[in-house]
Every structure is written in C-alpha cells, then in structure tokens.
Structure 1
Amino acid sequence: MIKNIVFDFGAIFINLDKEKFALELQKLGISQQSDEVLPILHQYEMGLISTEKFTAIFEEKLGVSTEEFTKAWNAILLDFPKKRLNFIQELAENKKYRLFLLSNTNDLHISWIQNNWGTELYDTFKKCFEQFYLSHEINLRKPNIEIYNFVLETNHLIAQETLFIDDTKENTEAAKSIGIEVWHLIPEKEDIVELFTKNSL
C-alpha cells in the first residue's frame, strides 16, 4: 500500500519547454550533451559550483554575457497551471499520504521561479510537502541511486510503500531498481491531476 508520494517538479507541476531551452543554448554555442559541458551542468545542478562561477565559465569560454546566458538558461521555464496547485493543496490537506518533492533544480531556475511566482505562491506550494528537496541544496541529483536512498533513509520510508513520479524515464527506472513504485508521467499525454485515475493507490 502506498503511504508516501515523491514528486518531481519540472514538467510535473511547472510546464517546461525543453526544445526551446536546447535551441537557446545552441544559439550561444552550448551543447548540453557535449563531453565538455555535461559535467559542468551536473556539478551546477548539484550545487558543487556557484552561480557566479557557472556563468563565468561560459563567459570565459564562449564570450557569452551573464545576462545573455541567464536568459537562455531560464528559457525552459513556463507556467504553473492553477489546477495543479489546487490538486497538491487538496492532497496535502487530506493528510492521507506523506508528500515530498525531489527535483534536479539549480539555483538560477529556482530563483526565476521564486521571482516569477512571488513569495506567497512559492511558499504556499512549498508548504504542501513534508520535505522539499532541490538537487543543488542537497548535493545529489537524479538518477543517481544515492539521492533516492537519501530520501528513503532520512525520512524512514519503505521503498515498496513509496510512489515516485517523474517525467524522465531514466529517473523512474533508477528509483524502480531499488524497489520504489514509479509513475513515468508523459507530459504531452498525462497530467499530475490524473494521479488517481492513472494509478491504483
């Protein structure tokens, strides 16, 4: 029986435009998947390098200003549908499940979200979760197994009683490998508000 639900953030609650993101970075001469860039992105996502150092790397390598880079970097972030806020608030209020957020979210992205949403909305959303784990704050990232074990062990959760929801199959497969129940949500076809129609909880 599921007692705990762990949610991803991007594409689960806030809409993302991953294609535009990749395109905007390409315009600046940055390929997310290059052997040179990928380790830097992962380090930043885990909070192992500061935002200042992160933007400086691209300014130095490619002559891209911090302002240009930040605009391109945040191009992935879109809107937060009200129905999803209502959904998670209602789920939190009924207290049937322990709710957690686990996201590969970096400092620049969460700063944009806080500014775009405003403090009241951001705090309202955050309070729906028992724990709000962002990769850059805990120095771990999905799909590394350590991050799932961290959530389970820190909160005394049993894997088989825990449902993890993410839009990236690599992430759900990693969680599944240690016994966590998963829902690989496909944003173009499904929505988090369909949680109870798409899953037998």
Structure 2
Amino acid sequence: MSDWPILHEYAASGNCYKIRLTAALLETPIERRAYDIMKGETRTPDFLATVNANGRIPVLQVGDHFLPESNAACFYLAEGTHLVPHDRFERADMLRWMFFEQYNHEPNVATLRFWMRWVGEDNFSDLQRALVPVKQEAGKAALALMDEHLAERDWLTGHDLSLADICLYAYTHVAEDSGLFTLADYPAVRRWIERIEAEPGFVAMEE
C-alpha cells in the first residue's frame, strides 16, 4: 500500500468530491476506496469498526488515523498552502463560509439532490414530502446570499481561491440536479463557478 492518504468515498457525493478537488488543485496524490452507500456498504460491521463508527463517508485515512467530516479533511490537506489564507481575519472568514456550507447550504441543496435523484419522489416519506418546499426555500436563500456576496468580488474571502470556494462549489455546481434550483437566477454564482473550473488542476465530479 502507498503512503498516500486514502479517501473512503462515494464518487457522486459532493462531500467526497470536495476532498478530491482540494487534492487535485494542490497536486496531492490520494488513494481512493469506493463504497456504494445505496447498498449499505458504509453500515457493515467492518466499516463501523475500522473506518467510521458513524457509518458515513467521506473519511480521509492518514496512516492509522481516520478523519471523517469533509471540510475537516479538506483542511488537513490544505493547511499551510495557498488555499488557506495567511491573514488571520481572512482565515477565520474562510471557516465562516465552510460552516455556512454545512449548516445552511448542504442540508438543503445537497439533501434535495439526493432525495430527488437517488431516493425518488415515489419513495418519499410523509416527512420528506413536507420538507421539500422548506428545504427548497432555504436552499434558494443560501444561493441568493452567495450571489449577493459574489456580485462584488471574485472569491468568497480574500483575493484568491480558498477552501471556502472549494467546499461551496461542490454542491452548488450541481444544484440543478434536484430540479428545484435554477443557477441562471444567480449570475454572480455562475461566474464564480466558471472561475473555479478554469483553475489549473481542476477535476470534474465523477458520477
């Protein structure tokens, strides 16, 4: 086995993709191990005992250490690089956007993508059906906030690409997959997406 970090992942997940994208932009090699979450492969006794007791991916394995939570894994890879601002305030602002992604953006935009594409409306529970319009409005609010912020700047924080951009790009660029969001409504976000995709080393999401 190589000495590279190992990414335990499901390729269609934006949370897994953001780690791959961070590694690619930094030219950091990683080994990939795939799991099919739809077949319960992250809920097996072996996975729970050796990879993540929470039964979720992504998990970044570094030697004998296992690091769950996608944004933490991105930070591990990027610490000390140009993707983490040196300025104290900008670094804290980067974290602010990463927290925003996990609390305001991902639970709405990403969850609806998964529900609509992988679960399917015919299989929704009563709770899921009731939550769709709530999450749609919350997702639109998150995208609108990003659009307003990016209307006057190229990147979410500072003057260069940072982990804040990578972490929010992962699910933003596929927001339309759910059929519930229209990126044309957010022109500044669309321009920001194009800037990220023009970065040297950029790799697309695999599905």
Shared fold (TM-score, shorter chain, > 0.5): no
Q: Which structure features the higher share of helix residues?
A: 2
Determine which structure has greater relative contact order: mean sequence separation of CA pairs < 8 Å that are 6+ residues apart, divided by chain length: 1
Normalised to the residue count of structure 2, the TM-score between the two structures is: 0.35
